[in-house]
Amino acid sequence: MTPLWQRLVQGMQKTRDTLVGSIESLVRRHGSSPALWEGLEESLIAADVGPAVAAQLVEAVRARKAPAADAAALRRELATLMAERLRRRQEPLAWERPDAWQRRPLVGMVVGVNGTGKTTTAGKMAWRLARQGRRVLLVAADTFRAAAQEQLAIWAERAGADLVRGAPGQDPASVAFDGVQAAVARGMDVVLVDTAGRLHNKSQLMAELAKVRRVAEKALERPLDEVLLVLDATTGQNGLVQARVFTEAVAASGLVLTKLDGTARGGIALAIVAEMGLPLKLVGVGEDPDDLRPFDPDAFARALLGLED
User: Which one, of 292, 290, 270, lies nearest residue 89 by Cα?
Assistant: 270
| pLDDT computed for residue 225 by the predictor | 96
All residues at 6 or more sequence positions from 63 whose CB lies less than 8 Å from its CB, including other chains = none
Q: Check whether 187 is labelled as a binding-site residue.
A: no
CB-hemisphere CA count at 13 Å for 19? 29
Amino acid at 164: V
In a 10 Å sphere around its CB, with 0-12 CB exposed, 13-18 middle and 19+ buried, how is residue 255 labelled? Answer: buried
Domain 4-88 CATH class label: mainly alpha
Q: Check whether 119 is labelled as a binding-site residue.
A: yes
229-281 pLDDT, tens digit each: 999 888 877 888 888 889 888 999 999 998 876 655 678 888 888 888 899 99
User: Which one, of 308, 309, 304, 307, lies nearest residue 19 by Cα?
Assistant: 304
Q: Check whether 115 is labelled as a binding-site residue.
A: yes
All residues at 6 or more sequence positions from 140 whose CB lies less than 8 Å from its CB, including other chains = 148, 149, 152, 153, 163, 164, 165, 166, 175, 194
> How far is it, in rounded angstroms, from Cα 250 to Cα 271?
20
- Phi, psi at 258, each rounded to 5°: -105, 170
| pLDDT computed for residue 275 by the predictor | 83
User: Which one, of 174, 156, 164, lies nearest residue 139 by Cα?
Assistant: 164
> How far is it, in rounded angstroms, from Cα 218 to Cα 200?
25
Out of 28-42, 106-120, 140-154, 195-209, the most confident range is: 106-120
- Phi, psi at 284, each rounded to 5°: -100, 120
| CB-based burial, 210-228: b 16+ in 10 Å, e otherwise | ebbbebbbebbeeebbbbb
Mean pLDDT of 36-43: 92
Q: Check whether 80 is labelled as a binding-site residue.
A: no
Q: Check whether 117 is labelled as a binding-site residue.
A: yes
**pLDDT top residue among 110 and 63:** 110
> How do the domains of the chain map onto residue ranges?
4-88, 96-296
| pLDDT computed for residue 134 by the predictor | 96
Q: Check whether 259 is labelled as a binding-site residue.
A: yes
Q: Check whether 214 is labelled as a binding-site residue.
A: no
What is the side-by-side order of every strand in the sheet holding 162-165? 162-165, 136-140, 190-194, 106-111, 226-232, 254-258, 280-284, 292-294
CATH number of 96-296: 3.40.50.300
Task: Note the pTM of the prediction, 2 decimals.
Answer: 0.91
| pLDDT computed for residue 67 by the predictor | 65
Per the prediction, the chain carries an average pLDDT of: 89
Confidence of residue 201 (pLDDT cuts 50, 70, 90): low
| pLDDT computed for residue 17 by the predictor | 84
